[in-house]
Structure 1
Amino acid sequence: MALPLLISLFTVLAPIILLLTACICLWQLRWNLKADKNWKLPLPPGSMGLPIVGETFHWLLQGSNFHASRRKQHGTVFKTHLLGRPLVRVTGAEHLRRLLLEEHNLVGTNWPQSAQAILGSTSLANSSGDIHHHKRKVYAKVFSHSALESYMPQIKQVVAESVRDWCASEHPVTVYSESKRLTFRIAVAILLGSLPSEEELTNLFTVFEQLTHNLFSLPLDVPGSGYRKGLQARDRLHEYFEKPIEDMLQSSPEYPTALGILIKSSQEQGVKMSMQELKEAMVELMFAAYATTASACTSLVLQLLKNPAVLAKLRMDLQTNGLWPESRTGENLLHLSDVTGLQYLDGVIKEVLRLLPPVSGGYRVALQTFELGGFQVPKGWSVMYSIRDTHDTAPIFQHPETFDPDRFAQDQMKGKDARFQYLPFGGGVRRCLGKELAKLILKILAIELATISHWELATKTFPKLLMVPVVCPADGLKVQFSAQLCNKSSR
């Protein structure tokens, strides 16, 4: 009885297997035929995965191991197919230097289709050429030194309240979830100048989470798809921000907000932003200050847990520089100059961003066929440059697996060209405008944590790290905080 059953199963499955195999072979062949016939150079090595979805699911499941394994197999330039597009992945300063310096010539902006639609056609991320250059000048005022100084009281207040809540909790805190709430509250506070009610803020946070969760999704606009959910969240956020924008346009606030600075900056540049542009700018600015900064905040807590000697040295440095609680009086005596002048703290933050950059790389699109690493990159293909892999293989960083803030001391970095070997905020004409705001938030959080709290890992082992879409612990990082004013004996 078993043999006839096996024969029947084989009769049914064999044609299906042959058909699937043929489809996969034709899919791979299709992309090999996409090579530019005017170039003798071959396409980079690599696989285009399965029909339609390519290697998207492998990428989502494997995280950083996906790129690491393929880099080990194929080298620093390889091809794949992610999120509906053919893609060339690139690692190493020598390749990144060329890509980032020759934007608008060899490559242009190329976010995945889902991100393009959700962020909007007028967003900074989706602009290029002269339009992008002009928008950066407008947006730059939002992150100027004077603007950051004006945000300090709000950032400090939100961070202090959050850390106080973490310390008051009887149960372990999930650091990544709480860090997202923290950075979201900061983004809303500096954009609007104040926070809405807790109920309204919670609802807004839920919608924003839906947008960010589906920003990188297969562009299938069907009921229930991540792409459709992302578009719906975008529309709800645009609806919410319309009234604050109208109010800001009709009034002259007594104190600066990021939204107010943006409106004024656009007027100074001679181009009044439309309501649609301002709504898309609000969402984009929130996104820029949210997920990646929350990832870095979580990594900061993780690394200080793993490296108690670094925390002890940081506490000593803060005490030496008069940033210990008993050395300060009043609520808002922490100024921008106090924070930016701390060299060891600066090294701690830079090392967190070196070892665990929040995003793995940046997207571009080939504007023309060009050579890279001995291979051709065909016109129209996506190009993704690696950040973490480049940090891990950069020759200026000895023992890259070790967390060592002192590697960024001035005497250690003297004579080293880190421009394209260290780039947690990207590089070239699209280097992240909000990098100083992100570092400021991280530094204020580090100061609050180090000076007023104690924390311990609430699980037996450190969690596995997920790398897609941003770096975060698999369990969110469970930590038990307690209010413990540190003193000299804690060093």
Structure 2
Amino acid sequence: MLFESFDLVSALATLAACLVSVVLLLAVSQQLWQLRWAATRDKSCKLPIPKGSMGFPLIGETCHWILQGSGFQSSRREKYGNVFKTHLLGRPLIRVTGAENVRKILMGEHSLVSTEWPRSTRTLLGPNSLANSIGDIHRNKRKVFSKIFSHEALESYLPKIQLVIQDTLRMWSSNPDPINVYFEAQKLTFRMAIRVLLGFRLSDEELNQLFQVFQQFVENVFSLPVDMPFSGYRRGIRARETLQKSLEKAIREKFQNSQGKDYADALDILIESGKEHGKELTMQELKDGTLELIFAAYATTASSSTSLIMQFLKHPAVFEKLREELRGNGILHNGCICDGAFRVDNISSLHYLDCVIKEVLRLFSPISGGYRTVLQTFELDGFQIPKGWSVMYSIRDTHDTAPVFKDVDVFDPDRFGQDRTEDKDGRFHYLPFGGGIRTCLGKNLAKLFLKALAIELASTSRFELATRTFPRVMPVPVVHPVDGLRVKFFGLDSNQNEIITETETMLGATV
């Protein structure tokens, strides 16, 4: 017994010594990791580098960022201030909050900073994408792409968008069970991008298969750039390769069946715009362009659509006030959308609807911010932002801390009304679509889609939350409810626009 006790004590002592060694090794390696990045400060500048933590070697604070969600930015801002350093997605990063700081970054494009997304994003979106372009190439690409979002183009898309939304709401209403709004909104925006914007004639089965691949692509756009079997980065690359093959096939089929269309889609306009600007796009440029269009129309719009529905559920008075505006402007009559009312100019004239969409985008901005690379050392809030570092300006956190907004946590569309106009007090306090020369080109299409969805929702009888409480919201990779938002949509009579009860359904079946 004595020897057995001695052996146990010896084993425990050895284990404790090993644990202490591991802890010391981790502590030393983490300290060296912190010093490694502190040494990158610009020695010619007397200002200190921003405060913050670089996390653990190689992975940095990526795990904290994913697990903490919106709390990551706010907790570090409270501890270190509006400008702090961290290490995310395989690279050092300085995160920036506040209108003046953001203004300096956005207006310093090509002089102080240049766009550079994380490596995983750059690879998966492709070298020919607008997001990855810089300098003259970016300026020329914007000219080519801008025509896709002109007033005339939006007017041509709108009838098709309305049909896709109507068809989707009918499917939601015919489902006897509650639906997952975020998942279904993703399917809706993907369908809109494929069939309306790009004009691809895919069967439902092909569309569903492509949707599944695209989901895998989007899930790994912001992943650690570790190219190993079974890594998210590798899955994203495989998804991109599959998508590129499918898109090339769809583009070639579209060229062969381009006659007899009743409207010009975004791909038609993109090709013609390229020719007008003296650049006939190659097949690779078309594939990268269409993939970027789908990506831009998909995740962020699905996020905002879900947030819009959640706010209608939380604030029925807002929903009813919107219906009053629609009735007052002759768009809604007896619960139905009036013929000929669904036009871009009519929708743009709805001031309260515009306020509702602005407030959704303020409180639930789909993306957290944008990335830039520092071209020359400059100053923010008394700190040096060293040349070569990456900077991320925060959209969501800037909205949350903007002094121009009263009661920032309250959903209040009237803050954008003519009597208050809180967004007019500072140019960079409100920037859901970014700013400067990289302002989102598709912002008018995104707002038009959200307004069309709101109008169609207002023409339905009702929908209600299927859970006891509203779900928590996650900000990564875009804002979305943790359970997707479970909502029951009720069946509608297409003529009367009233709820169909079980009795009425049974009577209809016997006629």
TM over 0.5: yes
Distance apart, 1:166 and its partner CA: 1.0
- TM normalised by structure 2 equals 0.92
Tell me whether 1:6 sits opposite 2:8 in the alignment: no
Task: Give the residue type in structure 1 aligned to 2:307.
Answer: S
1:82 aligned to 2:88? yes
Give CA-to-partner distance per residue, 1:337-366, whole Å, 9 cap, x none.
121110000100000000000001111110
Matched, 1:401 2:409: yes
Q: Which letter maps to 2:125?
A: L
Q: Given the superposition, is the C-alpha separation of residues 261 and 308 from structure 1 closer, same or farther in structure 2, using an over 3 Å criterion?
A: same
Superposed CA offset, 1:193-212 (max 9, x none): 25411100000101110110
Mean CA deviation greater in 324-333 or 448-457: 324-333
Q: Deviations over 1:389-427 (max 9, x none)?
A: 111111211111111111111231189334201000111
Map of 2:178 onto structure 1: 172
- 1:21: which partner in 2? 27
The code of the aligned residue for 1:344 comes to Y
Residues 335, 459 of structure 2: 8 Å contact kept: no
Q: 1:50 to 1:414 in 2, by over 3 A?
A: closer
Q: What corresponds to 1:266 in structure 2?
A: 274
After superposition, where does 1:113-152 map in structure 2 within 5 Å? 113-152=119-158
- Structure-2 change in CA distance of 1:261 and 1:214 (3 Å): same
CA contact (8 A) 2:157 2:196 kept: yes
1:203-352 pair list within 5 angstroms: 203-248=209-254, 253=259, 254=261, 255-326=263-334, 333-352=341-360
Q: Residue deviations 1:135-154, cap 9 Å, x none? A: 00100000110000000111
Contact 1:71 1:77 in 2 (8 A): yes
Partner of 2:117: 111
- Match for 1:471: what amino acid? V
Please identify, of 146-155 and 13-22, the stretch whose mean Cα deviation from structure 2 is larger.
13-22
Residue from 385, 402, 408 that aligns with 2:393: 385
User: Compared with structure 1, are the counterparts of its residues 33 and 113 closer, same or farther at alpha carbon in structure 2 (3 Å cutoff)?
Assistant: same
Distance 2:440 2:463 in 1: 31
Letter in 2 for 1:55: E
Structure 1 portions without partners, runs of 5+: none
* Cα deviation, residue 71, structure 1: 0.2
Letter matched to residue 115 of structure 1: T
8 Å Cα contact 1:119/1:283 also seen in 2: yes
What is aligned with 1:46?
Answer: 52
Shift of 1:12: 2.0
For 1:220 and 1:73, locate their aligned partners in 2 and report how far apart those are by CA, in whole Å: 31
Q: Distance in 2 between matches of 1:160 and 1:102?
A: 43
Match of 1:443 in 2: 451
- Asked if structure 1 preserves the Cα contact closer than 8 Å seen for 2:201 and 2:254, the reply is no
Query: Aligned pair count?
Result: 487
Contact 1:322–1:328 (CA<8 Å) still a contact in 2?
Answer: no
User: For 1:307 and 1:283, how far apart are their aligned partners in 2?
Assistant: 36
Q: State the AA in 1 paired with 2:344.
A: L
**What displacement does 1:324 show?**
1.5
Q: Is the 8 A contact 1:362 1:386 kept in 2?
A: yes
SS, match of residue 227 in structure 1: helix
Contact 1:167/1:453, CA 8 A, preserved across alignment? no
Instruction: Compute the displacement of 1:21 (Å).
Output: 1.2
State the shift of 1:333 in Å.
Answer: 5.0
2 CA distance for matches of 1:441 and 1:274? 30
Deviations 1:44-94 (A, max 9, x none): 000000000000010011111000000000000000000011000000001
Q: Distance in 2 between matches of 1:27 and 1:327?
A: 63
SS at structure 2 position matched to 1:73 = helix
Rg larger for: 2
Give the match for residue 374 of structure 2: 366
Three-state SS of the structure 2 residue aligned to 1:416 is helix
Structure 2 CA distance for partners of 1:88 and 1:415, relative to 1, 3 Å = closer
Distance 2:198 2:53 in 1: 47
Q: Hey, what's the Cα distance between the residues in 2 that align with 1:246 and 1:182?
A: 24
Q: What RMSD, in angstroms, separates the aligned Cα atoms of the two structures?
A: 1.8
Q: SS state of the match for residue 412, structure 1?
A: coil
How far apart in 2 are the matches of 1:92 and 1:48?
22
SS of 1:19 mapped into structure 2: helix
Query: For residue 421 of structure 2, what is the amino acid of its counterpart?
Result: M
Moved more, 322-331 or 176-185: 322-331
% of aligned pairs identical?
Answer: 56
Provide the secondary structure at the position in 2 that maps to 1:289: helix
TM-score, normalising length: structure 1: 0.96
| Other structure's SS at 1:357 match | coil
CA contact (8 A) 1:192 1:244 kept: no
1:101 aligns with 2:107: yes
| Matching residue within 456, 463, 470 for 2:478 | 470
**1:56 maps onto 2:71 in alignment:** no
- Quote the residue 2:501 is aligned against: none
How far has the Cα of 1:192 moved from its partner?
A: 2.9
